[in-house]
Structure 1
Amino acid sequence: MTVVVLGAGAVGTATAWYLRKAGHDVVLVERQPDAGLETSWGNGGVIHASEVEPWSQPGMPLKIIKWLGKEDAPLLLRYGAIPHMLGWGLKFAANCTPEKFRANSESNLALALYSLRSLQEIGAETGIAYDRATRGVLKIYRSVDSLDGAQRSSDHLAGLGLTYERVSPDRCVELEPALRDTRSTLAGALYFPRDEVGDCNKFTQGLAAACAKQGVSCRFNETVQKIEISGGRAAAVITDKGRIAADTVVVAMGSFATPLLAQLGISVPIYPVKGVSITFPRGDWKDAPTVPVIDDSKLFGLVPIGDRMRISGSAEITGYDTAPAMPRAEAIIANAGYTFPEMRKHLDIAKSRVWAGLRPVSPSGTPLIGETRIGGVWINAGHGHLGWTLSCGSGRVAADLISGVKPGIAPPPGQGIVASGFH
């Protein structure tokens, strides 16, 4: 069977890899000159089961309304975006009940753990170098109430496979000495020893090269225009460079899956939420963190990736705009500078890469993986802030479903777009 995968981000490339391993003829189509150059380029860098809880959680709709239009808000909804995302917003609010929040968290955790194992297997098989580090992740808190609440959530997920440890402020500094300057502000932390770090861009490009060696046709610099339907099912993909015949098409284009599938009358509840990261050379910052630190109160992550440091954070609902807003970037830098005062001496914005990408967020916070109502048209998108974390597992699940093989875990809920479970 010929399968055309649209989008060579981490999710699409992993899907192509597993489809080829299953014996299919695979074509991978990407509008950029290489894999992993859009949302997969500058993400937070952490592969973590520690952040599987979706944004659609109890109390979040009221918070978003309270933050409306505020530049320093953790999740900024711009007024101009409201008319375009009302339907999505209502579905998001419907997923903010305690019951749905818990179910969606559990689904993400299962996929995250499966994905981590799959990523490790791919790394062992291919030898891709992607600045992998396995020191775990430290999530710090400045109030006992916040730490207690986080522990309650983690306790529930620990029963389903999450590994974590609650640590004191002194232990925080033992794990990451760069926190010594702000030790007095800490209530403690949760330490997640199984979380990993890696450069998603390097991994995705390495995996695309491995796909090509296995016979996948990687077609870069080629823009998808539409999916051709014949006899009620997928027949081809039309691009700016011609027609690609297909038995099956997998749309793995992140936020851009929505407008493409809308051409076929398929309404996909995925909305882009812009995130910002700042990547700068470690340089002579000799005491820079070696353990990734996520700051719960300041809402940023500082992650060492190879010889670079990356600060990430911010969530901005502003349509498909990918230009990084400097006020948002400056706010993230200021927050990180509070926690790591030494960082201010080593971060030169002129030598940094300020980047923004679009997280493809579904109302439930779980990805859409499965066949749409049109035969042969599949979707693997909507991973939100967990694209890098869930990519390999999602690709594996999608390839199994397409091949008619029962996947290693239950697919995420279909949310009305795909059928859940295995048929």
Structure 2
Amino acid sequence: MDVIVIGGGIAGVATAYQLRAAGHRVCVIERHATVAQGATYGHSGAVLPTPLDIWFGPTFMPHRLGAKNGVIRKSGFNRAARGFVRRLAALQDPAAFSLQYSRLRPLIEASREAMGEIEARHTFDFEQASDLLYLVRGAAEWQLAGTALELLRQYDMPHQVLGAAQCAALEPSIPTTPEFAGGVQLSGERTANCPLFAKLLKQALDLQGGVTFQFGREVTALRFDNHHAAVELAPPLDAAPRSREVDVMRADAVVVAAGAGSLPLLERVGLPLPLHPLRLHTLVAPIAHEECAPHRAIVDAVKRITITRMNHRLRIAGAAVLQSASQTSKPLDPALSEEALALLGQATHDWIPGAAKISAALAWEGVKLLSPDGLPVVGNALHPRLFVNLGHGPAGWGLACGSAGLIAALISGTPSGLPPDTLAALRPERFRG
């Protein structure tokens, strides 16, 4: 089949890879000049989500910890934003959290397997590193993390629960004062460079053939009939005035994997999705003092701030700003940007003082989608030729590889290997009714 994939981020490139592996011909359409220039560019580095850092559950935006939870809320929420927060808050209940994580778990394992197959075939070097250390500040946070710890035990995920002194012994960059509650080591989990991985996948596809990329083009509309799917493309910005006409590309199927840009496209064809945009922030800072630099990734488990080392630099990511969706297209208030970047700088000072040269850091801000039930949106929707792969959230870009495998299986008409309750929980049309 001929398949059009809209979006050149990690979800779109991974989808193209899995579709080509299944024997399909693919065209990827991306509005930027190359792959991994949008939300993928600023990813924290955590490859797969764990019960401790997934963006829902008891430790995500807990009300009793107030502003200390790492998510900045702008006042003036509209009705949709308030409803989104309420739905996510329902997953703070331990039973609801455990059930929702159990639905996601098969996709996490499928993603782990998919990434393993890619690495075995191509021997990519994308700055992979094992061992994550999740740190917890106080007794109240430690109590909130109890359900996540139970899930680690339930799913036999290798881990060690550590006291503060043990954390400092394991990672000498962590100060023992002021006191903190402790942490959890997951030696089997990994971090890596997400945009580099996407670029390496693109290079592999270029060498293999069967996948083309159209850069600097923006999809303005989707069309479907009984026999074909089609996309309308805005003319290139550098096109001559007489030739600035809408182009139409036809295929057997279309996969929408364009992150926040997917929402208006899908809404125009009758599929409004209640996914909410979060403005995430990243600082990439040179290492100031080698003796202070961490040897493993550190995650502030409640603030959802991840600190990863990549060669001679540190990537500090998190500090989400939660606004009404209508504000996403406008520049962020400088005061909110300053507050978000201050959160990242403070986390660096708290956990690895002296390690990062924050004054020389490069700042990034981008929009990532989060669903009100915490799960990505993956599958067939509305029309037999329309497929969706988005909403993987800020924690775990490796999910895109497993989701891409599911899309390839659905388009090919082959079994995905995922259980029915997981497939139902991911369906784009689950929000209807």
TM-score bracket relative to the smaller structure: 0.7 to 0.9
Q: Distance in 1 between matches of 2:312 and 2:374?
A: 32
| 2:72 aligned with 1:76 | yes
Equivalent positions of 1:116-127 (< 5 A) are 116-127=112-123
CA shift at 1:54, angstroms? Answer: 4.7
SS in 2 for 1:40: helix
Q: Alignment partner for residue 198 of structure 1, among 175, 178, 192?
A: 192
2:369 matched to which residue of 1?
360
Partner of 1:156 in structure 2? 151
Q: Once the two structures are superposed, what CA deviation does each residue of 1:327-367 show, in whole Å capped at 9, x if it has no partner?
A: 21023202320222223xx4143x32111122210111011
Q: Which range is displaced more, 117-126 or 3-12?
A: 117-126
Q: Following the alignment from structure 2 to structure 1, what is the Cα–Cα distance between the partners of residues 137 and 86?
A: 33
CA shift, 1:92, in A, is 3.6
Map Cα deviations across residues 85-107 of structure 1 (whole Å, 9 max, x no partner).
34544544555554432222122
Following superposition of structure 1 onto structure 2, how do residues 270-285 of structure 1 map, counting pairs within 5 Å?
270-282=275-287, 284-285=289-290
Deviates more, 1:213-222 or 1:183-192: 183-192
Q: Percent identity?
A: 25
In the alignment, structure 1 residue 400 sits paired with structure 2 residue 394: no
CA distance in 2, matches of 1:347, 1:278: 10
- Contact kept, 8 Å, 2:257 with 2:389, in 1: the verdict is yes
| TM-score, normalised by the number of residues in structure 1 | 0.88
Residue in structure 1 matched with residue 392 of structure 2 by the alignment: 383
Closer/same/farther in 2, CA of residues 45 and 415 from structure 1, 3 Å limit: closer
Any conservation in 1 of the 2:71–2:303 contact (CA below 8 Å)?
A: no
* 1:4 aligns to 2:4 (yes or no): yes
CA–CA distance in structure 1, aligned partners of residues 60 and 152 of structure 2: 20
Post-superposition CA distance 1:195-221 (Å, at most 9, x none):
111110100011112122222111111
**Contact kept in structure 1, 2:115 and 2:401, CA below 8 Å:** yes
More displaced stretch, 98-107 vs 364-373: 98-107
The structural deviation recorded for 1:159 is 2.0
SS of equivalent residue, structure 1 residue 212: helix
Contact 1:5–1:27 under 8 Å retained in 2 = yes
Partner AA of 2:369 in structure 1: P
1:306–1:110 CA distance, 2 compared to 1 (3 A): farther
Pairing 1:330–2:342 present: yes
Q: Structure 1 residues 76 and 382, CA, compared in 2 at 3 Å: closer, same or farther?
A: same
Change in CA separation of 1:394 and 1:87 when aligned onto 2, cut-off 3 Å: same
CA contact (8 A) 1:280 1:347 kept: yes
Distance in 2 (CA, whole Å) between partners of 1:419 and 1:143 is 37
The 1:163/1:62 distance shift into structure 2, 3 A limit, reads: closer
Q: Quick one: distance in 2 between partners of 1:400 and 1:415?
A: 14
Partners of 2:87 and 2:138 in 1: how far apart? 32
1:50 Cα offset (Å): 2.3
Q: Against the structure 1 CA distance between its residues 409 and 53, is the aligned structure 2 distance closer, same or farther, given a 3 Å change threshold?
A: farther
Counterpart check, 1:236 vs 2:230? yes
Deviates more, 1:312-321 or 1:193-202: 312-321
Counterpart of 1:329, as a letter, is L
TM-score normalised by structure 2 residue count? 0.86
Counterpart among 206, 209, 218 of residue 223 in structure 1: 218
Structure 2 counterpart of 1:78, which letter? Answer: K
Aligned-pair CA distance for 1:174:
3.0
Counterpart CA distance in 2 for 1:414 and 1:145 is 31
Shift of 1:256: 2.1
Structure 2: which amino acid aligns with 1:281? P
Task: After TM superposition, give the deviation of residue 7 of structure 1 in Å.
Answer: 0.8
CA contact (8 A) 1:300 1:336 kept: no
Count of residue pairs the alignment pairs up: 410
Q: Structure 1: how far apart are the matches of 2:302 and 2:60? A: 16
Given the alignment of the two structures, is residue 129 of structure 1 paired with residue 125 of structure 2, yes or no? yes
Question: Corresponding residue for 1:168?
Answer: 163
Contact 2:48 2:396 (C-alpha < 8 Å) held by counterparts: no
Pick closer, same or farther for the CA change 1:333–1:412 going to 2, 3 Å: farther
Q: 1:401 to 1:2 in 2, by over 3 A?
A: same
SS at structure 2 position matched to 1:376 = strand
Contact 2:285/2:314, CA 8 A, preserved across alignment: yes
Q: 1:214 to 1:375 in 2, by over 3 A?
A: same
Distance 2:215 2:139 in 1: 50
> In 2, distance between residues paired with 1:198 and 1:303?
8
Report if the CA contact (8 A) 1:75-1:315 is conserved: yes
User: Which of 93, 103, 110 is equivalent to 2:106?
Assistant: 110
Partner of 2:428: 417
Please provide the CA RMSD for this pair: 2.7
Structure 2 residue runs of 5 or longer lacking an equivalent are 236-246
Q: 1:252 aligns with which of 237, 241, 257?
A: 257
Given the alignment, which residue of 168, 172, 175 partners 1:177? Answer: 172
Mapped partners of 1:139, 1:327: distance in 2: 23
Aligned twin of 2:18: 18
